[in-house]
Amino acid sequence: MLFYVITILVIIADQAAKWGVRSNMQLGETVQVWSGHLQFTYYENSGAAFSSFQGYGKYFAIIAVLFVAGIFYYRRKGELRGPILEAATGFLVGGAIGNAIDRVIYHQVTDFLVFGSRGGILNLADLAINAGGLLVVVHLLKEPLKRVMIRR
């Protein structure tokens, strides 16, 4: 259940935020939210992370569909269980779907979040994917850390 709740919330929040940016900002416009820490800069990315592979976004939509299908396959097999993996895969799938929606409908992804002065431009789907990846690492380290703590 946690998987589905997180997936749906990520998709809704991501799409609502992107709609708000597209509706209220001009392409290239920057709005300071928290000086030196967070700004919104409206950017359309037709490629991948760090604006690489510009113009090949449709292929990343295919990769997202395959990734989501893989997650559902392994969930059905029962291999992705437990609250950490439920949350991790929810964030990963929600982020992948959020960006895939943009790629299919707009042929590019709306980015707008800039953290710090040297940060790249992200969106909520990207943040969810990062959170999911971090939770996967936490899951992978959980058992080895338990063994180390028991030995002490």
Residue 150 scores a pLDDT above 90: no
14 an active-site residue?
Answer: no
Question: What pLDDT score was predicted for residue 19?
Answer: 97
User: Which residue in the list 6, 126, 129, 135 is annotated as catalytic?
Assistant: 126
Inter-axis angle of helices 83-106 and 2-24, to 10 degrees? Answer: 30
The length of the chain in residues reads: 152
Question: What pLDDT score was predicted for residue 45?
Answer: 87
Identify whether 152 is part of a domain: no
Identify whether 113 is part of a domain: yes
Identify whether 8 is part of a domain: yes
User: Which residue in the list 43, 60, 111, 131 is annotated as catalytic?
Assistant: 111
102 an active-site residue?
Answer: no
Under a CB-based contact definition with an 8 Å cutoff, are residues 134 and 91 in contact?
A: no
Identify whether 54 is part of a domain: yes
Strand order of the β-sheet with 38-45 is 30-34, 38-45, 109-115, 121-122
For the chain, the domain total comes to: 1
Domain residues for the domain of 14 are: 1-141
Phi, psi of 111 (to 5 degrees): -115, 150
Question: What pLDDT score was predicted for residue 55?
Answer: 59
Q: How far apart are CA 122 and CA 140, in angstroms?
A: 26
Identify whether 148 is part of a domain: no
| pLDDT tens digits along 24-70 | 999 988 888 888 789 899 999 876 665 555 555 677 788 889 999 99
pTM flag (> 0.75)? yes
Question: What pLDDT score was predicted for residue 18?
Answer: 97
| pLDDT tens digits along 80-121 | 889 999 999 999 999 999 999 999 999 899 999 999 877 688
Confidence of residue 149 (pLDDT cuts 50, 70, 90): confident
Identify whether 150 is part of a domain: no
